[in-house]
Amino acid sequence: MTLPDANRPLVGIAWMVASGLCFVAVTGVVRYLGTDLPAPQSAFMRFAWGVVLLLPALPGLAAQVPAGAWRLVAGRGAVHTVAVTLWFYAMARLPVAEVTAIGYLNPVLVTLGASVFFAERLALRRILAVLVAIGGALIVLRPGLRDLGPGHLAQVGAAFAFAGSYLFAKGLSARMGAGAVVATLSVSVTLGLAPLAAAVWVPLTQAQVLWLGVVAACGTAGHYCMTRAFAAAPLAVTQPVTFLQLVWAAALGVLVFAEPLDPFVILGGAVIIGAISYIAWREAVLRRRAVTPAPGAAEV
C-alpha cells in the first residue's frame, strides 16, 4: 500500500540530508566571516537576504496562512530570533565541529518536546537514548574540566531555542505548505532582528554583504528541505539524520580552517549519534511491521 504523506521515512530522510548539507554550508561561511560583525547584525542580514530571495512568493503569502496559524507563526519568529542571534555569536567564536556537536542537544530536546506537544510516543528505549545523548553532550562540553566561555553558553541556549522553533515548524507543516512556512519564518525573524541589529550596526563591506547573501540562500534552502522532511516523516525518523552534520562539520573545520580535531567532540558526538540512531532504527522496524494496522490501532 502507499504510505500516507506523513509516513514516508525515506523521503523524510532524503530531505533532512539535503537540509544538513545546506546548514553546514551556512556554518562554514559564518565561521569564515568571524567576529567582525555583531551577531544580531549578521543574523539580520542573513534573514533580510532571505526575504529578498523570497520576494516573488510574498504577495500571496498572507492568503496561504490559515487564520489560526498566525499565533504559531509569531511564536516561531520570536523563538527563532533568539536562536539565530545566539548561534551567530557562538559560531564566530567556537570551532565548527564543536558548535555542531553542542547543537546535537537540539534534536534531543525536539524529541522530548514532540512527546509533550504532539503526543509522539516516548517509550522506555527513547527515554534511555535521550539520557545517553545528554551524556554525550556533557562529554563535548566537559563542564568542570575546562572553562566554558560565552560561546559555549550561547550555543547551548541556541539549541534550546532552535528546538522550540522546530516544534513550531512541525505544527505549522500540518497546516500550510513548506514554502509558506519558510517565507513566514524569513519575514518574522527579519522583523524581530531589525531593532537588535540597528542597536549595534557597523558599516558593511561589499564582500560581507555578498557572503551573507550566500548564507541566506543556503539557510533558506535548508529550512525548506527541513520543512519538507517534517511533513514527510515523524520527528523520530528525521532528527537522527542531522547527526551526519558532525562528519561534514569536522571535515570542514580541519580542511578549511585548520582547526584541531578534538577527540572529546568526536566521542561525544558519536555517543549521541549512536543513541538516537538506534532509536530511529528500532522505530523504523516497528513501523514496517505495522504498515497494515490492527483493528483499533489507529490511535496511539
Hey, where are the domains in the chain?
Answer: 9-289
Identify the CA nearest to 120 among candidates 245, 287, 261: 287
Question: For residues 66 and 45, what is the distance between their CA atoms, to the nearest angstrom?
Answer: 28
- pLDDT tens digit string along 53-64? 878 878 888 888
Between the ranges 57-66, 147-156, 188-197, 242-251, where is the mean pLDDT highest?
188-197
Residue 61, exposed/middle/buried by CB under 10 A (0-12, 13-18, 19+)?
middle
Q: 211 to each of 24, 42, 198, 218, 298, how far by Cα in Å?
A: 14, 10, 20, 11, 49
Q: Which residue has the cell 567582525?
A: 36
Nearest CA to 107 out of 148, 86, 136 is that of 136
**Residues in the chain, how many?**
300
CB 204 within 8 A of CB 85: no
- In the predicted model, what is the mean pLDDT of residues 116-143? 81
Q: Which residue has the higher pLDDT, 43 or 112?
A: 43
Assess contact for 61 and 176: CB atoms under 8 A: no
- Separation of alpha carbons 115 and 121, rounded Å: 6
283 has a pLDDT exceeding 90: no
Cell 537540539, residue located:
106
Confidence of residue 236 (pLDDT cuts 50, 70, 90): low
Average the pLDDT over 79-107 and give the result. Answer: 88
What are the pLDDT digits (tens) for 197-215?
Answer: 999 999 999 999 999 999 9
- Using CA atoms, how far apart are residues 84 and 91, in angstroms rounded to an integer? 10
Structure confidence at residue 150 (pLDDT): 92
- How many percent of the chain have pLDDT more than 90? 24
Q: Looking at residue 284, what is its pLDDT? A: 62
| pLDDT score of 202 | 95
Q: Which of the given ranges, 26-30, 79-83, 103-107, has the highest pLDDT on average?
A: 79-83
User: Residue 1: its pLDDT value, please?
Assistant: 41
Those residues whose C-beta lies under 8 Å from the C-beta of residue 182, and which sit 6 or more positions away, are: 54, 220, 223, 224, 227
What is the per-residue pLDDT for 280?
64
Secondary structure of residue 76 in the 3-state scheme: helix
2: pLDDT strictly greater than 80: no
Q: Which residues are within 8 A (CB) of 145 and not within 5 positions of it... i.e. 6 or more apart?
A: none
How would you class 233 by CB atoms within 10 Å of its CB: exposed for 0-12, middle for 13-18, buried for 19 or more? Answer: buried
d(CA 291, CA 111): 23
CA distance 271 to 70: 39
Q: Where is pLDDT greater, at 216 or 298?
A: 216
**Amino acid at residue number 251:** A
Sign for the pseudo-dihedral over CA of 72, 76, 77, 79: positive
Segments in 65-149 forming alpha helices (H)? 70-91, 96-102, 105-117, 124-141
